[in-house]
Structure 1
């Protein structure tokens, strides 16, 4: 189990905001029992919309603490990280308790090392992050590709967003 911390008031607005894509506006903000259950369903649907493969996906959400717990089996480390980031980069989420398991690795599919996580600051661009992390601003596409499908455009990142930065 791992616990990841995120900025609570940064990210996708699934809980009734204009940008909501997985949840209708009628599903109110993440607080209270029924609303926490609705928020958990919205988060699970958001993960599915990202086309991330999670066998037996289970998501729970505690509104008052802003904590998501996610369980299931993923095919690889990269998918695990993307699921955690999908949960954490949602407005109203502060902590993600990762209870995911990675399917058995084989000789033909060796274990991928965990990526570094980077929290976007005001003024950051993927090129600036690539220069800082790899020493080459032109390596920004590596970061962009590592964060698909959550990122749709390399120019659309925001302060507080947490990104995967794969090993060089």
Structure 2
């Protein structure tokens, strides 16, 4: 697969199982995050790799956060399963820095680019990944459990593993409806 094919055929795969990447493959994934566009070279994000018993700790935070907002047994049960959708979750959070030329929104975009780069690095090396957020990403209990300070944000949870089921290539929308040229 060429680099262009990787970009044009990218699909999120929620069907993830063991094994998760490790060793040099994981190092490549994490290194991809460090190669993203980063105005000012701030590296305005933190990465936390969650696996093994860490998945249970993340589950505990998800359940506690859900229970703080609802007593719906279905939603609580769903929260208890979320972290086990994959054998590894890579959490990217912002580490906002004051900078006269790099506003916070650019720093958030850099964190998002890190997630995208890591997802692509997973696929390029034969693994799969799915980027998720949702209400749980903004919940103070989850942020605190992950060590994300109040003024920072969880940019996303990258669920990583091996594909347990092939997915069909999705039909892409054409770019024509959203592109204009100023010539």
TM-score (norm 2): 0.25
Question: More strand per residue: 1 or 2?
Answer: 1
Question: More helix per residue: 1 or 2?
Answer: 2
State which structure, 1 or 2, has the greater radius of gyration over its C-alpha atoms.
2
